[in-house]
Structure 1
Amino acid sequence: MVTKERIPACRIRTRCLIISDTHGMQLPVDIHTPVDVAIHCGDLTQHSRLDEFQSAIELIEKLNAPLKIVIAGNHDFSLDIPVFKQKILEANRLSLEPLDNVTIRKEYGDYGTARQMLQESRKKGIIFVDEGSHRFSLQNGALLSIYASPYTPSTASSSGWGFQYSGIHNFEIENGIDIVVTHGPPQGIMDLSAERKRIGCPQLFAAVAKAQPRIHCFGHAHDGWGAKMVAWRPQISDMPSHFTDIDNDKSYVIENMISLNGSKFESAEEMKAREDRMNGCKERGYCEQEWTDYNTLGMTLFVNAAVSGNNGSNQLPWVVDIELPLNS
Structure 2
Amino acid sequence: MSLINAFSRRPFRPTGNTIKTRFLILSDTHTCDVVAPKHYADVALHCGDLTQRSKMSEFRKSLALLNSINSPLKLVIPGNHDFTLDETLFRGGNFKTRQLLSTKESEMEYGRTGDAIALMEEAREAGIIYLKEGTHHFKLDNGASLKLFASPYIPSLLEWGFRYEPSEGHKYEIEEGTDLVMTHCPPKGILDANYQGDEVGCRHLFEAVARIRPRLHCFGHSHEGWGAKLVAWRGDAASKRPSRMTDVDEYHSVLVQHLDGLRRSGQDDEKVVEEKTEMARAAYNERCYRTSHCSGDKHPIIFGRKTLFINAAMKGSRDDEYAMHLPWLVDAELPVANAD
Interval of TM-score (by shorter of Structure 1 and Structure 2)? over 0.9
Decide whether the 8 Å contact of 1:25 with 1:55 is kept in 2.
no
Q: What residue is the counterpart of 2:316 in the other structure?
A: 309
Q: 2:24 aligns with which of 14, 17, 31?
A: 17
Per the TM alignment, residue 281 of structure 1 is displaced from its structure 2 partner at its CA by 0.5
Q: What residue is the counterpart of 2:164 in the other structure?
A: 165
Q: Following the alignment from structure 2 to structure 1, what is the Cα–Cα distance between the partners of residues 200 and 239? A: 22
Judge which range, 171-180 or 53-62, deviates more.
Answer: 171-180
Give the 5 Å matches for 1:187-206.
187-206=188-207
Q: What residue is the counterpart of 2:43 in the other structure?
A: 37
Per the TM alignment, residue 179 of structure 1 is displaced from its structure 2 partner at its CA by 0.9
Q: What residue is the counterpart of 2:82 in the other structure?
A: 76
Structure 1 counterpart of 2:246, one-letter code = T
Judge which range, 170-179 or 58-67, deviates more.
Answer: 170-179
Per the TM alignment, residue 295 of structure 1 is displaced from its structure 2 partner at its CA by 7.5
Could you tell me which runs of 5 or more consecutive residues in structure 1 were left unpaired when the two chains were aligned.
Answer: none
Q: Following the alignment from structure 2 to structure 1, what is the Cα–Cα distance between the partners of residues 98 and 136? A: 38
Q: Following the alignment from structure 1 to structure 2, what is the Cα–Cα distance between the partners of residues 296 and 152? A: 28
Q: 2:65 aligns with which of 59, 65, 79?
A: 59
Say if 2:48 is the partner of 1:48. Answer: no
Q: Following the alignment from structure 2 to structure 1, what is the Cα–Cα distance between the partners of residues 301 and 26? A: 27
Q: Following the alignment from structure 1 to structure 2, what is the Cα–Cα distance between the partners of residues 250 and 2? A: 32
Q: Following the alignment from structure 2 to structure 1, what is the Cα–Cα distance between the partners of residues 233 and 281? A: 33
Structure 2 counterpart of 1:209, one-letter code = A
Judge which range, 5-14 or 247-256, deviates more.
Answer: 5-14
Give the 5 Å matches for 1:1-328.
1-3=3-5, 4-5=11-12, 7-27=14-34, 29-87=35-93, 90=96, 99-100=102-103, 102-155=104-157, 159-166=158-165, 167-234=168-235, 235-293=237-295, 296-297=302-303, 298-311=305-318, 313-328=323-338
Per the TM alignment, residue 85 of structure 1 is displaced from its structure 2 partner at its CA by 2.6
Decide whether the 8 Å contact of 1:60 with 1:126 is kept in 2.
yes
Per the TM alignment, residue 144 of structure 1 is displaced from its structure 2 partner at its CA by 0.9
Please tell me the root mean square deviation across aligned C-alpha atoms, in Å.
Answer: 1.8
Decide whether the 8 Å contact of 2:89 with 2:95 is kept in 1.
no
Decide whether the 8 Å contact of 2:180 with 2:216 is kept in 1.
yes
Q: TM-score, normalised by structure 2?
A: 0.90
CA deviations on 1:130-165 (whole Å, 9 max, x unpaired) are: 00000111111111111000000013xxx1110000
Q: Following the alignment from structure 2 to structure 1, what is the Cα–Cα distance between the partners of residues 159 and 301? A: 44
Structure 2 counterpart of 1:161, one-letter code = W
Q: Percent identity?
A: 41
Per the TM alignment, residue 270 of structure 1 is displaced from its structure 2 partner at its CA by 2.1
Per the TM alignment, residue 9 of structure 1 is displaced from its structure 2 partner at its CA by 4.4
Structure 1 counterpart of 2:258, one-letter code = N
